[in-house]
Amino acid sequence: MSPTRSGLRRRILLGLFGYVVVLSVAVVVNGIIVNEHAEQLVWQTLLDSEMDHLLELRARDPSYRWTNTRNISLYDGRDPQAVPAPLRGVAPGVYDEIIVDGVERVALVREVDGSPLVLALDITDLEEREFDMGLTMVGSAITLIVLLGVAIAWSVNRLVRPLRDMAQSIAALRPDQAGQRVHIPPSASAELVVIADALNDYLQRNDRFVERERVFIDSASHELRTPVAVIGGAAEIALQQPQLPEAARGQLTRIQRTTREVEQLISLLLVLAKDPARLARSSDHVALDQLIPEIVEDHRHLTRDKDLQLDIVALPSCEILAPLPIVQAAIGNLLRNAIEHSDRGRITIRLETPATVVIDDPGHGMTPEEIAQIYARVARGGGRDGGGIGLDLISRLCEHLGWQLDIASDEGHGTTTTLRMAT
């Protein structure tokens, strides 16, 4: 099962959108960090300035007394209980977001004459404004991301549309139609023109190749069928002679059977060279329950020198739509393989629904490795080692027509071959 692949448009959109999100988050985080550093500098400068002014006033007038206001308060560390609990025992410095008497403050702690002196500023209003500004910044970032996302989506759609149109044009190509070309608009980019030209050149060369193949198949069909038909006709006429010696009659009968087998082989090879859609238009209604006994009788002579029986077990009524010579060749050659690989016993042929032929033989059997080799030769398009039509060629025929061929075997215990012709 092939993996699900995402489209180029989706990948570009996700990439650019991710870049915008990361950039926006980086800008917001950087803004927060810069704001915190700037805020610290402001509080440090403001409170240091206020503390220096207070100490200057005390130096001028030792009796000067500080008066707390709503926004700023002074706590003298000479009385430890006068210092708020969150600021007791802390080192000198600036402390932000300290809760004193239920109010958020920023405090400056300075060591003066051996005791701490604390100056605390109410920053509740400033923090609320900072929070509002943060929300505004986040909202602006989200709005920017959405607007950029819309702009990116529109741009990517415009960028990918010619490529998507070309892909649809390629998907609409039909292998059974000649003269097809991929068309692109005059406004297409230089890269698309290169791709279209390469594809059109390939299509043109493929048309010439297909035409050569068609001419070859038609010629081969005529040139091969004609002499085979002549041989078969001559053998049939010769067999009608009353004074024909028995030995000669046997040889002529063999020639006639071989002629039919060669005709089947030619039909099979020509089918493999044609498109399955064309085969469907030239198929026949084949009654398998009537055809199988004829095939068995045609192959019964192969058992004369062997202790073998051919038995038809079950023949329910069954009809399929397929080329008659191909059905004959497929079933006949499976039966021939069963006979060739068996010396004695009973070969059973049965018909199951839907359109399934099962052949059991008592022959030599095959190992799993030998069965795997048959399927491997089919997968790589290889031929068989012996003569005639082998299981690998029948397997290729089944694959071409959408049929299914299964082989179950134990070495030394016979083989069960199942041909499913229902599609």
* 151 in any annotated domain: no
Q: Residue 321: what pLDDT?
A: 85
Q: Which residues contact 17 (CB under 8 A, 6 or more apart)?
A: 149, 152
Q: Residue 278: what pLDDT?
A: 57
Domain boundary at 223, 242, 274, which?
274
Nearest to 360 by CA among 368, 352, 220: 352
45-84 per-position pLDDT tens digit: 888 898 888 888 888 888 888 888 888 888 887 877 778 8
Cα(28)–Cα(187) distance, integer angstroms: 41
Q: Residue 358: what pLDDT?
A: 92
Q: Residue 111: what pLDDT?
A: 87
**Phi, psi angle pair for 345, to nearest 5°:** 115, -150
The verdict on pTM exceeding 0.75 is no
Count up the domains in the chain and report the number. 3
Q: What angle do CA 262, 268, 270 make, to 5 degrees?
A: 105
141 and 14 part of one domain? yes
Cα(287)–Cα(319) distance, integer angstroms: 4
* 113 in any annotated domain: yes
Give residue 392's pLDDT band: very low, low, confident or very high (50, 70, 90).
low
Are the CB atoms for 344 and 362 separated by under 8 Å?
yes
If one counts every other C-beta atom within 10 angstroms of the C-beta of residue 156, the result is 19
Q: What angle do CA 40, 44, 50 make, to 5 degrees?
A: 145
* 78 in any annotated domain: yes
Query: Does 246 have pLDDT greater than 70?
Result: yes
Look up residue 337 and give its two tokens: 């393989």
Cα(65)–Cα(184) distance, integer angstroms: 89
Cα(first)–Cα(last) distance of the chain, in Å? Answer: 21
* 166 in any annotated domain: no
Average pLDDT over residues 371-380: 51
192 and 216 part of one domain? yes
Domain boundary at 231, 258, 274, which?
274
Q: Residue 11: what pLDDT?
A: 80
Nearest to 391 by CA among 321, 340, 318, 315: 340
325 and 304 part of one domain? yes
* 168 in any annotated domain: no
Least confident of 7-11, 29-33, 233-237, 240-244: 7-11
132 and 194 part of one domain? no
228 or 380: which leads in pLDDT: 228
Are the CB atoms for 262 and 228 separated by under 8 Å?
yes
Query: Does 293 have pLDDT greater than 50?
Result: yes
Domain boundary at 223, 256, 274, which?
274
Average pLDDT over residues 293-316: 86
Query: Does 194 have pLDDT greater than 60?
Result: yes
* 26 in any annotated domain: yes
413 and 283 part of one domain? yes
Look up residue 264 and give its two tokens: 């089947």
Query: Does 282 have pLDDT greater than 70?
Result: no
Give the chain's mean pLDDT: 79
Cα(180)–Cα(163) distance, integer angstroms: 18
Cα(50)–Cα(54) distance, integer angstroms: 6
287 and 270 part of one domain? no
* 2 in any annotated domain: no
73 and 204 part of one domain? no
Query: Does 389 have pLDDT greater than 70?
Result: no
Q: Residue 383: what pLDDT?
A: 43
Helix (H, G, I), strand (E, B), or coil: what is residue 262?
helix
34 and 51 part of one domain? yes
Enter the DSSP assignment of 2. Answer: P
Cα(99)–Cα(5) distance, integer angstroms: 56
Residue tagged 């020639």 (tokens): 255
392 and 288 part of one domain? yes
34-48 per-position pLDDT tens digit: 888 888 888 888 888
301 and 220 part of one domain? no
* 336 in any annotated domain: yes
Enter the DSSP assignment of 189. Answer: -
266 and 284 part of one domain? no
220 or 88: which leads in pLDDT: 88
Cα–Cα distances in Å, from 301 out to 69, 144, 257?
Answer: 123, 86, 10
Are the CB atoms for 295 and 335 separated by under 8 Å?
yes
Query: What is the DSSP secondary-structure string of 167-182?
Result: HHHHHT--TT-SS---
Cα(89)–Cα(85) distance, integer angstroms: 9
111 and 216 part of one domain? no
Look up residue 366 and give its two tokens: 């095959």
Beta-bridge partners for 285: 321
Q: Residue 165: what pLDDT?
A: 83
Q: Residue 279: what pLDDT?
A: 57
Cα(400)–Cα(380) distance, integer angstroms: 14
Nearest to 267 by CA among 95, 116, 393, 83: 393
Give me the count of residues in the chain. 423
- Domain encompassing residue 242: 174-274
